[in-house]
Every structure is written in C-alpha cells, then in structure tokens.
Homo-oligomer: A and B are copies of this chain.
Amino acid sequence: MKPKAAYSETQRLVNGVNVDELFKTIDTVKRQPTVATFKFRAGNQWLGGGHNRTTVRNFYGAGQEHDRRQPFVLDADEPPVLLGEDKAPNPVEYLLTALAACVTSSIVYHAAAKGIRIKEMESRVEGDIDLQGFLGIRDDVPKGYREIRMHFKIEADAPAEELEEIVQLGPAYSPVFDTITRAVPVKVQLER
C-alpha cells in the first residue's frame, strides 16, 4: 500500500510546508518551552576595502547543535559609487534580503497553518538611507534606514478581501520584521 501512504504524505503539505510537523512542533514547544530556544550564528572575514565574506555553518535549536553539510558562503561588497568593486550585494541590501525572505516565509507558514493555499507570491522592498549619517556629516541624520516599504503580490485560494489579512501575517509573525522594527540590543566586543 505504498502509493497510498505517499499520497497521504503529500496531502499534509500546504504551501510546501508539512503542517502535521508544524502542529507537532507547536505541541512539543507547548509541553517543553526550552525546545524553542535557538541560537543562530555567522562568521565574517574581511577581504579588503568594502569586500568581506560571511560563512554560515551551524546553529543551536530544539535542544541540539545543527551542522550544515556544507557551509553557506555570502560575499558582501559596495558598488563603485560607494568606493567598492561591486563584487556582491552590499550589507544594507542583505538586510532587505533578510526582510523580504522572512516576511515571505512567515506568510507562507502561517497561511499553511490556517489551511490557506498560496499559489504565487512575489514582493519588492525599498528602503531610504541618507548617507550624511554614515559619513558623520550630520549627527541628527540616522545612519541606517529611515523607512522601509514592502509591496506584495499574492495569488491564493482565498477571496480578494482576505488577501490583505494574509499579507499581514508577515509583519505579524516575521522574526526579521520584528528585529528591525523593535530595536534589538547588539553588543560588539573586541576579542583579545
């Protein structure tokens, strides 16, 4: 009866998310909250000028260490107008990447939990930076983004009037959205 089992496993996927596993995870965390403790990590090496390389290898979560088979390697650089060689996206573009990816996945997972099937989704994100801050020209100008705007296009098995609620699952649950909008403490230390 293998084909039937395979069929039933397929049935549990909503938006590519295994919702049985998702609900099992929620039940496990409710019984044992420490399972929800995660530590994400990255290492960075400076390569010269605005060019540096981040390596993502492992994280801690669900009570144990997790090692990737292969580390993920992410280069950053600056475009010529910011005195780099444009070898890779720059750090503030990586921040937009983190945000777009996270809001997207948060919509996908939470829609799946509600049984809402999403067919297609794309988004664009834009943020404003005034470099007078970074350049140290004006103290009253923020160094980072003043504002970030995201626009989503979604096709889902839901009435048009529900699409707005579906999109808002993103800002409601996204860890990166929350990190950027909440003011998270970042400690920077020299290692000797």
Q: Which residues of A contact B (CB under 8 A)?
A: 13, 15-18, 21-22, 25-26, 29-30, 33, 36-46, 48-52, 54, 56, 59, 61-62, 66, 68-69, 72, 74, 76, 78-79, 81-83, 86, 88-106, 108-110, 118, 120-137, 142-154, 160, 163-164, 167-168, 170-171, 173-192
Q: List 25 A-B contacts (CB under 8 A).
A: A13-B49, A17-B83, A22-B83, A26-B135, A37-B131, A39-B129, A42-B100, A46-B121, A54-B101, A56-B89, A66-B81, A68-B86, A74-B89, A78-B105, A90-B105, A94-B97, A94-B101, A95-B98, A142-B182, A144-B177, A144-B179, A144-B184, A149-B186, A150-B189, A170-B188
Query: In this complex, what residue of B is CB-closest to A37?
Result: B130
- A67 to nearest B CB, angstroms? 10
B188 touches A167 (CB 8 A): yes
* Identical copies in the complex: 2
Residues of chain B within 8 A of A130, CB atoms compared = 36-38
A183 touches B186 (CB 8 A): no
